[in-house]
């Protein structure tokens, strides 16, 4: 069964600290993996996208990694800011020639001052 | 990426009435759009795939007669919630699909509250 599991479900960190969010998937055939940031009451915004051959991708203070062998991805946030408080959603697309995607449940991050 | 807007951003309606939500692709001709529903503290759930000029494809368990989708142009798709009930209260998000990269660009969402 195609699934995307994220952990932790929620996380509280202090401003300025780093954190890492996890995403494990059992999706086949794999096309790509995306991390989205969703602010409360807003639509998701893409942070990174990685294909099978990419191990890491950065977008400012966000760095995503992908291990296609173990089917794991992580999103590392450096020097967190209050504005990083949001839900982070891992989305895996299937290589079936269309838009078939599997959404993770998301990790809710709270950054405290 | 594509810029996607939704209107209204929030709406309150009475039980039994219908409400229409618009999704516009402002700078991209979208043959494919998607409608999602999101309940509090949950991830997005795909409701239907909207194809320009043809009937929408609904996910299992989604009532097509209740959630009417019209994709009459390459820049506009509408979702009409008919005979709304309080359990239809949710956050509705649309996205535009890029047929080359298969990337999806999401709108800002519409908060529907049915009283």
Mean pLDDT computed over every residue of chain B: 93
Exposed/middle/buried for residue B92 (C-beta within 10 Å: 0-12, 13-18, 19+): buried
DSSP readout, chain B?
---EEEE-SEEEE-TT--EEEEEEESSS--SEEEEEEE-TTS--EEEEEEETTS--EEPTT--TTTEEEEEEETTEEEEEE-S--GGG-EEEEEEEE-TTT--EEE---EEEEE-
Asked if the model's pLDDT at residue B1 lies above 80, the reply is: no
- To probe the interface with A, which of B44, B94, B98, B111 has the most A CB atoms within 10 Å? B44
The radius of gyration of chain B's CA atoms, rounded to the nearest angstrom, is 13
A2: which DSSP letter? -
What DSSP element (H or E) covers A77? strand A72-77
The pLDDT value given to residue A13: 98
For residue B102, give the nearest of A89, A93, A108 by CB distance.
A93
The pLDDT value given to residue B34: 95
Asked if the model's pLDDT at residue B52 lies above 90, the reply is: no
- Percent residues over pLDDT 90 in chain A: 87
- C-alpha A33/C-alpha B44 separation (Å) is 16
Locus of tokens 């990790």: A107
Asked if the model's pLDDT at residue A33 lies above 80, the reply is: yes
Could A44 and B1 be called an inter-chain contact, meaning their C-beta atoms sit closer than 8 Å? no
Could B44 and A44 be called an inter-chain contact, meaning their C-beta atoms sit closer than 8 Å? yes
Asked if the model's pLDDT at residue B53 lies above 90, the reply is: no
Could B1 and A101 be called an inter-chain contact, meaning their C-beta atoms sit closer than 8 Å? no
Q: Which of A17-21, A85-89, A95-99, B80-84 shows the lowest mean pLDDT across its residues? A: A95-99
- C-alpha A88/C-alpha A110 separation (Å) is 11
Could B106 and A103 be called an inter-chain contact, meaning their C-beta atoms sit closer than 8 Å? no
């Amino acid at each position: 069964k195609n699934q995307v599991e994220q952990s932790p479900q929620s996380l509280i960190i202090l401003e300025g600290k780093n954190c890492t969010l996890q995403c494990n998937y059992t999706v086949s055939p794999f096309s790509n993996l995306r991390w989205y940031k969703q602010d409360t009451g807003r639509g998701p915004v893409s942070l990174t996208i990685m294909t099978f051959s990419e191990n890491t991708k950065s977008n400012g203070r966000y760095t995503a990694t992908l291990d296609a062998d173990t089917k794991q991805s992580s999103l590392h946030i450096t020097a967190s800011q209050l504005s990083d408080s949001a839900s982070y959603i891992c989305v895996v697309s299937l290589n079936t020639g269309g838009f078939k995607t599997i959404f993770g449940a998301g990790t809710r991050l709270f950054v405290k001052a | 990426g594509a810029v996607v807007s939704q209107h209204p951003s929030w709406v309150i309606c009475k039980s039994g009435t219908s409400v229409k939500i618009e999704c516009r692709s402002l700078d991209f001709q979208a043959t494919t759009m998607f409608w999602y529903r999101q309940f509090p503290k949950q991830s997005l759930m795909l409701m239907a795939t909207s194809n320009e000029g043809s009937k929408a494809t609904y996910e299992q368990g989604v009532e097509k007669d209740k959630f009417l989708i019209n994709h009459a142009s390459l820049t506009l798709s509408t979702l009409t919630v008919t005979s709304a009930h309080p359990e239809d209260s949710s956050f509705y998000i649309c996205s535009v699909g890029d047929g080359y990269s298969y990337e999806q660009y999401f709108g800002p969402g519409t908060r529907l509250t049915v009283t």
